[in-house]
Amino acid sequence: MYDQLKLDNQVCFRLYTASRLVTQAYRPLLEPLGLTYPQYIVMLVLWEQDNLLVSDIAHRLVLDTNTVTPLLQRMERDGLLIRTRGIADGRQTLVSLTSKGKHLEEKAKNIPACLAKAWQNPDAGTTRPEAFVEALDAMIKHLKNSDSKQ
């Protein structure tokens, strides 16, 4: 077997596992709000800036609009947001929070702190979460640039 094909030598497997476990850690915090993790990240975008086009939300989340649209449809059925056709361009859809969606922000405000506390690892030494964010941002930027060149 080739060493480079061993599971233990794969950065991608660690990223996949970490992503899955992080999403799992969010579940008990998001369930009382009636949100899934994908819905939560949409809400984060809209709490930061309301009244966005679907394409802007998809771009911010680094997802295709075809992935975001069904998610937004379900969130609209749940009364968290409304989608309206653009006046200047009927092909565009504007997404706005409802009062219910806006009020969830108050209920969600402690989620990041709860997770940060849960992730504190005395065995991790001096590794700061900010260092992970910086490294991951650099990786994402590089991969996005590589993808756009193909």
> What is the model's pLDDT at position 145?
87
> What is the model's pLDDT at position 127?
59
Place 23 in a pLDDT band, splitting at 50, 70 and 90. very high
Place 121 in a pLDDT band, splitting at 50, 70 and 90. low
Cα distances from 45 to residues 101, 105, 147, 149, in angstroms, run 12, 11, 23, 27
CA distance 68 to 85: 16
> What is the model's pLDDT at position 123?
64
> What is the model's pLDDT at position 70?
97
CA distance 141 to 137: 6
Q: What domains, with CATH codes, occur in the chain?
A: 3-148 (1.10.10.10)
Provide CB contacts within 8 A for 132, sequence distance 6+: none
Q: What is the mean pLDDT of the chain?
A: 90
Quick one: average pLDDT of 37-56?
97
> What is the model's pLDDT at position 87?
73
CA distance 105 to 100: 9
Per-residue pLDDT of 47-86, as tens digits, reads 999 999 999 999 999 999 999 999 999 999 999 999 999 7
- pTM, two decimals, is 0.86
